[in-house]
Chains A and B, each alone.
Chain A
Amino acid sequence: MVVSPTIEQIREWLDEVKDPEIPVLSLIDLGVITQINLSDHEVRVEMTPTFVGCPAMDYMQREVIECLQRRGIDQPVVEINFREAWSSDKISEKGKAALKKYGLAPPPDNSLFTDLEILERAQCPRCGGDNTELKSPFGPTLCRAIYYCHSCREAFEQFKPV
């Protein structure tokens, strides 16, 4: 290791790495970086997928490694595991605001998600109204559902609560 950064610095660096499918959201805001450990010889980052079948995981892992290497960390260890499973509650407030601005309804709080009734309606990211209807719990990527807003008369997507 050429440089000796702090954990806070590493978090700042990783905030530059974006979700390839939602480019307004950093991996830090998405909540998929679960651990950063420093020892004398090693920078060790643990990541966890949003969905087990997420096809972007290898890509994100590579991006994290390259980001750290650009900052002078020669051989960062980046491990993917399920030790601390991802849930949509791990998305930061900053991340939720970015999603909404991007036109994707942020996921509702998981503590409200005791049964699936909550999925019936979502707040439209355009008009903010809830005169909406779930069209399909499956969307263009594993983490999105498709809704229709009766006020805007247009479809929109929601980041699914998981």
Chain B
Amino acid sequence: MNTAALKELLYKMADDQLILGHRNSEWTGFGPLLEEDIAFSSMAQDKVGQSYALYQLLHALGEQAPDTVAFTRNAPQFHNCQFVELPNEEYDFSLIRHFLFDTAEAVRFDMLTQSRYEPLAQLAKKIRGELRYHTLHANTWIRQLGSATEESISRLQAALDKAFPFALGIFEPSPFEDQLIEEQLFAGEQALRLRWLERVQTILAETSLHLPDVTLTTPEFGGRNGHHTEHLQPLLDEMSAVFRIDPTAEW
């Protein structure tokens, strides 16, 4: 088994979950409705928990313990896509990101249930079930607000236009793409992107929203190689503030 390829895959997935989990948690206490406050907080808990399970798989492959990996790296050592580190902005942008990212995530874990690396396939089967609630939540709101009032439609459309190049950055090809596919560890970013587009378009077709032309959009790549926006490091500083006060503290 190509361990380097597997680790690269696990790191980018775990980092995506951790960073978006943290962003989701920033809605705690600020949601536009109590139910949304609870929803984003619950999804934060799911995502951070899922990142922990993925870091555990990495730990079993010889990487450092989950807390060390999560709280002691700096931005250039993170492999999340830039999409997840962008600030929450208003609810419209957070909702669009939740829809675009979580749809990709649901497809990714669905594909990974077929992985030849058994611990990952087992975890993927579990996570796939949980993500049904995330995509249900996203799809419900996109359907409602995407065909409600002029304001809700124009706000979501503007958020979609802004988010789309970053969403395409999720699928930045890995240097190990061929090995992952060949060894049946993961069917690859290209296959994922195709299935993602289809699902996203199916939902958007029920609304007044339009997906920007994918052939005319330049994806925001770089995150997978440690190139991040100015927004990631402040997030990491805040996330690890308590840990850094006393890294050996017992909780």
Contact = CB atoms under 8 A, between A and B. Distances in A.
Nearest to B42: A138
Interface in A67-114: 81-83, 85-87
B49 A51 contact: yes
Interface stretch (B72-80, B121-129, B220-228, B232-240): B121-129
Given A85-B125, A137-B137, A53 B35 contact: no
B247 to A, nearest CB: 19
Interface in B1-58: 35, 38-39, 41-43, 45-50, 52-53
Nearest to A162: B129
Contacts of A55: 45, 49
Main secondary structure of the interface of A (DSSP, over half): loop
Contact of B49 (A54, A81, A136): A54
A137 B126 contact: no
B47 A137 contact: no
B132 A87 contact: no
By size class, the interface of chain A is: 20 to 34
Contacts, number: 68
A22 interface: no
A58 to B, nearest CB: 10
A146 interface: yes
A110 to B, nearest CB: 9
Contacts of A82: 53, 119, 122-123, 125-126
A52 B123 contact: yes
Contacts of B125: 82, 85
A57 to B, nearest CB: 9
Interface in A109-157: 116, 119, 135-140, 142, 146
Contact of A138 (B38, B47, B127): B38
A87 B129 contact: yes
Contacts of B43: 138
18 contacts: A51-B130, A52-B46, A52-B127, A53-B48, A82-B122, A82-B123, A82-B125, A85-B122, A85-B125, A86-B126, A136-B39, A138-B35, A138-B39, A138-B137, A142-B42, A162-B129, A162-B130, A162-B132
Interface string B106-124: 0000000000000100110
B148 interface: no
A120 B122 CA distance: 29
Contact of B39 (A83, A137, A162): A137
A52 B35 contact: no
Contact of B126 (A52, A136, A138): A52
Most buried by A among B47, B122, B123, B129: B129
Interface in B140-160: none
Given A52-B123, A53-B52, A83-B122, A142 B136 contact: no
Nearest to B21: A53
A83 B122 CA distance: 6
B133 interface: yes
Most buried by A among B35, B42, B123: B42
Nearest to A51: B130
